[in-house]
Structure 1
């Protein structure tokens, strides 16, 4: 296959939603259809001790939630699919925001009973900012939920995007009979099955066979609904979808394997192949011969036996090859990688080559990579748009076992590399402060330090409102500020000055009193 053909058959997308909408379950079923797994893990069931493929960390198995983005790749009908299953919990939103910089399209999962929730709105804003094409899967139709037309109205209002149903449910809850596939003009009858891929029955909408399968009243309602949809909603336009202006909507039940294949079949047909990526210097086209890529995520302890870190690299252009020298732009150094890996969540296999759109794992044992690092065939390039936001919660981290200080320091170092939290060192007393966007992250850090690094930490309170990075062209004023605010100054891991404001009032006064100082609430400036 030529380079162009290889790249055109790739589909790299993220699945995002509010917690508990069924995102990880949908990922499982997509893998099941792709033949990547043979039995889907029950994400919540304690009776079945199979956990979801994408939730492989110990804490994820215990809590039944995703706390880290998982990467999975498989082949499906001639396409190479790369799925990134993201955490839905808002405490891990930053991981999800960064993941969205590495995908070409997104599937949003919405719970039919709960509709659009706060976290989904936030994630949609990031998609809109980046003009990422969005497809919506309304899940849990086998339970009682909102009327499908009400759901469509809510999607348009809350997500601020035009929608077009490409499948339509026939009743819901215990009366759920199936969906009419408007993209293929066929009827798919519902047979609940969590493990087996069931066959569809295909019937034309206008044929008398419809009554035979779902009865007279449901047939009439379905025909009326479909007629109303064609009058009210715009005809599906692939260009509008690719531009991020129109979202196709599908209905189904991920847990019972229903509506998922219809979603996947339509997705591989209409979703974009890898798209151009904006670097600081220029726009990078995926079909360029030369390899370029950037690190969007780092994960410590993929294999606890080897204490290994993995840097996830999104290939932006050309072809990546094993044992070929590539330039690490930040270090200005050529490097070759003997064991690049392809992923199936935690399981990984060595790959010889990867193309634009693929996600490659590079072993990183010596702190070689940081989030945002660029690799190229030699060109000086910097990819942008990988922000670190100002944390909202802060605690001092203290060593609870003085015999294990080395393990604790290594653990903190590696977990901070992942970008799930930020580490600041107080300039006044030298104490380490961890900043996060949510309480759950503190629990995850403490749990992982203990179970992955055999190190115990304890948290101590600190009263802070915001951490902001400061810079100024007026060096005298900057020094004056740092001297006056000495008790509230810290360094981040790059040694940059950070002002720790105790309240919004103190921050406002500082901004008013020191007009020549710029206060940044994201580390990407």
Structure 2
């Protein structure tokens, strides 16, 4: 029986599919164990048969989510990956994000496409710089967060200290749902607070004899606790008592509002605590939520299809030099071959070759539902921030570009490859992680990025994917701002500052500054002009 949401038609089969979907990102500071945890989630979800090996892909030796050559060389994630797997009847859409600050813009865009996040904390290092920045991004959208404190098999900081640090530095309540028993060499396992279970830890080569993997205890006063834990039982009782007195009881509404984070403890590399984390995640994390368009709120239960492009990736298959638009489905059912309209272009196209992802590996899509991430191969017609729809015209607010903070001049080693350079830069900058500018008075390319590591990534990808070799020249610029406002004023500022005026890849006018003082002074002198530090794909 068809129903309605805000007088918009809905269908029961869409509701069923929406309720079993969980679309989430994994975030952390580098080296907290995020990529390892991603592998183990895929392992428990049956998507891979050995950590790092895609199921039925015996030649895949590298980490599943790190599919670029440079990722394998450096051992870090430099782009977000999408992975889909099933677990206990739930369809999981997992987006693995780069942890490094230099890739924060890519991470920001991914976080606009998910309904919740899984935050990984290193038990020895606690809250780190990038963790704070990622938390700030999550807070902008009130994203619900579940926390996994990792590496309990190593010596780390006291659990109560870690909980206090998360609350103080990240500004969110912590509600532990499990609690560690010991740490490092004395790590015995965790106490499942909700289930009243002791889950024993067994690492590879651990010869300690345990009666069974889990033991049920009836409260902390149960003598079985002393029998199985020995002296560690007293420490567990004291810590839980302190937690009960000063902690926060779990409140699902506060979690969904982004005000409280359930906390799990474990060791991803040893598969310990991962299944319990997944089970807790599927029961607690939200299904796909409504999304605000410029005219109204769009429910995922609506029959008409809508989606937003949050990422574009070039050359996922170097043999085909393709570009894949990553689309978060916001409402309705997607079917292979259906006709969609790109709101920005005002043109229809047939989505005949949509794909699902397992990092670099793909499979064809016959149907997909709200919360799913699908890829649409294209030749540059679909851009980051585009709204796609089947019937009712909709516009989802665009995904912004942030003003770069570092700048380099590109030096092309082989002048005869200028066209290949332009093609490579055009395609790579469409991904949004880096931006290029052309001075109005010269022929140079100026690259701008949030972090300096991006320049190394672009040079490596130009060489590997386009056979174009470049080096960089230093530039004195520290800031760039896009310009909009009175047409006559824009013309005058361009005439008076020719060396600093540039156009970006979308032909939008911008201005480079050597210092914050120069930016402030120029802003004061030109009151008829707006100096913008973020923009959507095309300024009107």
- Regarding TM over 0.5, the answer is yes
- Segment of structure 1 superposing worse, 169-178 or 392-401: 392-401
In structure 1, the residue matched to 2:504 is 492
Cross-structure match for 1:4: 15
RMSD between aligned residues = 1.7
In structure 1, how many angstroms separate the alpha carbons of the residues matched to 2:305 and 2:285? 23
**TM-score, length of structure 1 as denominator length:** 0.95
Q: Tell me the equivalent position of 1:447.
A: 460
Alpha carbons 1:91, 1:441 under 8 Å: kept: yes
The aligned counterpart of 1:517 is 529
In 1: Cα distance, 2:229 partner to 2:46 partner: 31
Show the counterpart of 2:382. Answer: 369
Give the match for residue 26 of structure 1. 37
What is the alpha-carbon distance in structure 1 between the residues aligned to residue 255 and residue 500 of structure 2?
48
Partners of 1:111 and 1:140 within 8 A in 2: yes
In structure 2, what is the Cα distance between the partners aligned to 1:120 and 1:30?
A: 21
1:447 Cα offset (Å): 0.5
What is aligned with 2:148? 137
Q: 1:374-393 maps to which residues of 2 (within 5 A)?
A: 374-384=387-397, 386-393=399-406
Three-state SS of the structure 2 residue aligned to 1:211 is: helix
| 1:238 lines up with 2:238 in the alignment | no
1:69 paired to 2:80: yes
Confirm or deny: 8 A CA contact 2:300 2:331 kept in the other structure.
Answer: yes
Which of 267-276 and 481-490 deviates more? 481-490
**Where in structure 1 do 4 or more consecutive aligned residues deviate above 4 Å?**
none
Contact 1:190–1:258 (8 Å) recurs in 2: yes
Deviates more, 1:404-413 or 1:355-364: 404-413
Provide the rounded CA distance (Å) in 1 between the counterparts of 2:263 and 2:16: 29
* Distance in 2 between residues matched to 1:385 and 1:409, nearest whole Å: 26
For residue 22 of structure 1, report the CA deviation from its aligned partner: 0.6
Rounded Cα–Cα distance in structure 1 between residues aligned with 2:421 and 2:487: 37
Give aligned pairs, total.
Answer: 514
Structure 2, unpaired ranges of 5+:
1-11, 54-58
- 337, 360, 363: which is aligned to 1:323? 337
SS at match of 1:223: helix
Report the counterpart of residue 229 of structure 2 in structure 1: 214
Contact persistence 1:295–1:313 (CA under 8 A): yes
Contact 1:203 1:210 in 2 (8 A): no
Distance in 1 (CA, whole Å) between partners of 2:425 and 2:490 is 30
1:85 pairs with 63, 77, 96, which one?
A: 96
Q: Shift of the alpha carbon at 1:490?
A: 0.3
Q: CA deviation at 1:349?
A: 0.2
**1:253 equivalenced with 2:267 (yes/no):** yes
Alignment partner for residue 404 of structure 1, among 417, 435, 459? 417
Residue number in structure 2 paired with 1:501: 513
Moved more, 273-282 or 344-353: 273-282
Secondary structure of 2:462's aligned partner: helix
Alpha-carbon shift at residue 205 of structure 1 (Å): 4.9
Cα contact 1:322–1:337 (8 A) shared by 2: yes
More off after superposition, 134-143 vs 395-404: 395-404
Contact 1:181 1:262 in 2 (8 A): no
Task: Report the secondary structure of 1:124's partner residue.
Answer: helix
Distance 1:136 1:413, change over 3 A: same
Contact 1:193 1:257 in 2 (8 A): no
SS at match of 2:84: strand
Distance 2:170 2:436 in 1: 34
SS in 1 for 2:268: coil
Q: 2:476 aligns with which of 463, 470, 487?
A: 463
Q: Is the 8 A contact 1:164 1:234 kept in 2?
A: yes
Corresponding residue number in structure 2 for 1:313: 327
Specify the SS of the correspondent of 2:473: strand
2:192 touches 2:198 (CA, 8 Å); kept in 1?
yes
